[in-house]
Amino acid sequence: MEGDNVSNAFVVRSLDEIRFWSRIMKEHSLFLRLGFRCEDTQLINEANHFYATFESIESRAQAFSAETDPQIIQRFNVEVHTAVSHIWVFKRKVLGLILTCQLIGQNNFPLLLDHTSREAFYFRNRLEQLNAGKLDPLPDAIINENVFFLRIMADHAKFIAHLLDPSERKLVDQAREFSDDFDKLLFQARDLDSMRPQSQTAPLLDQFLDQNRVSVQSLRDFKKTARDLIEACRIKSIIHPLLADHVFREAERFLFIIDMFENALTGKPVTNIEGSH
Ligand SMILES: [Fe+2]
Ligand SMILES: [Fe+2]
């Protein structure tokens, strides 16, 4: 019976990660494609190929359920892992082309390539951990996930600041403030990381989560407002509405993870992780 619960938890966690991140990978393919020059047909084809791959993974993940045989999910995880490795290589290749000025005039920031490749690396690592049955112990997971996501949030604030029209002065200022705030939080997280394992006390980790949550909530609200304004064509920017929604969903994901850690630290029951979409 206990074995059943463990395998059920493995299936539920795997599907939760794949449903969230395969959609993210699919959207990265779209954003990268939109930034390429029209003569870069090879890169455009590769991006389209990744879009189709992750779209298919996404719909297959939706078709599985908590009752699916864990062995099927184990094989699915391996297959998704391969696809994620390939998109990681693609993103790093494009980063190399941009940094050596071989794609003059294309519109993707180098930091966007690095950022989306870090997200792919994170996803790939999570699939490896799930299949190996080796998730980080809670105190390590808390620091690792926060270091990862705080940097992601700091990058988002920078992207927003740079993609808003320069005439949207108030919004650009707000985005820059978020960028500074998250840079500071990231440095604090790295300090806590370097003070491991002595820093991994319950009160310090709890305070760390509380402080990060406050900032992520306000960034999440800012992204939501920006998304709504962009969708309603009320502000000037070169932000695709889907990109605005994409970064909003990533903030929601971080908040969900913070809450899951908080519950685990304080011994409260963990809410259903399938409710995170
Ligand atoms: Fe992303
Ligand atoms: Fe992101």
Name the maximum alpha-carbon separation found in the chain. Answer: 62
Tens of pLDDT, residue by residue over 139-171, are: 999 999 999 999 999 999 999 999 999 999 999
| C-beta separation of 160 from 152 below 8 A | no
Distance CA 24, CA 247 (A): 10
Distance CA 47, CA 94 (A): 11
Q: Can you give the pLDDT at residue 267?
A: 84
Instruction: Sort residue 55 into left (φ over 0), alpha (ψ -120 to 50) or beta.
Output: alpha
Is residue 277 very low, low, confident or very high in pLDDT (cuts 50, 70, 90)?
A: very low
Distance CA 198, CA 170 (A): 42
Mean pLDDT for 230-238 is 98
Q: What is the DSSP string of 139-163?
A: HHHHHHHHHHHHHHHHHHHHHHHHH
Q: Can you give the pLDDT at residue 5?
A: 75
Tens of pLDDT, residue by residue over 47-61, are: 999 999 999 999 999
69 Cα to the center of ligand 2, angstroms? 32
Structure tokens at 45: 């084809």
Q: What angle do the packed helices 138-163 and 202-231 form, to 10 degrees?
A: 30
Mean pLDDT for 199-211 is 97
202 Cα to the center of ligand 1, angstroms? 31
Length of the chain (residues): 277
Determine the residue type at 144. N
Mean pLDDT for 81-105 is 98
Q: How far is CA 112 from CA 119, 153, 168, 251, in A?
A: 10, 12, 22, 16
Helix, strand, or coil here: 101? Answer: coil
Q: How far is CA 21 from CA 10, 77, 106, 163, in A?
A: 16, 12, 26, 24
Q: Can you give the pLDDT at residue 7?
A: 80
Average pLDDT, the chain: 95
> Does the reported pTM lie above 0.85?
yes
Q: Can you give the pLDDT at residue 231?
A: 97
Ligand nearest to the CA of 111: 2
Q: Can you give the pLDDT at residue 238?
A: 97
Tens of pLDDT, residue by residue over 118-135, are: 999 999 999 999 999 999
Distance CA 102, CA 124 (A): 28
pLDDT exceeds cutoff 70 at 271: no
Helix, strand, or coil here: 120? Answer: helix
Instruction: Sort residue 233 into left (φ over 0), alpha (ψ -120 to 50) or beta.
Output: left
Ligand nearest to the CA of 149: 2
Mean pLDDT for 227-239 is 98
pLDDT exceeds cutoff 50 at 273: no
198 Cα to the center of ligand 2, angstroms? 31
Q: Can you give the pLDDT at residue 1?
A: 43
Structure tokens at 41: 């047909």
**Burial of 257 by CB count in 10 Å (0-12 exposed, 13-18 middle, 19+ buried)?**
buried
125 Cα to the center of ligand 2, angstroms? 16
Partners of 243 in beta bridges? none
204 Cα to the center of ligand 2, angstroms? 27
pLDDT exceeds cutoff 50 at 109: yes
pLDDT exceeds cutoff 50 at 236: yes
Is residue 268 very low, low, confident or very high in pLDDT (cuts 50, 70, 90)?
A: confident
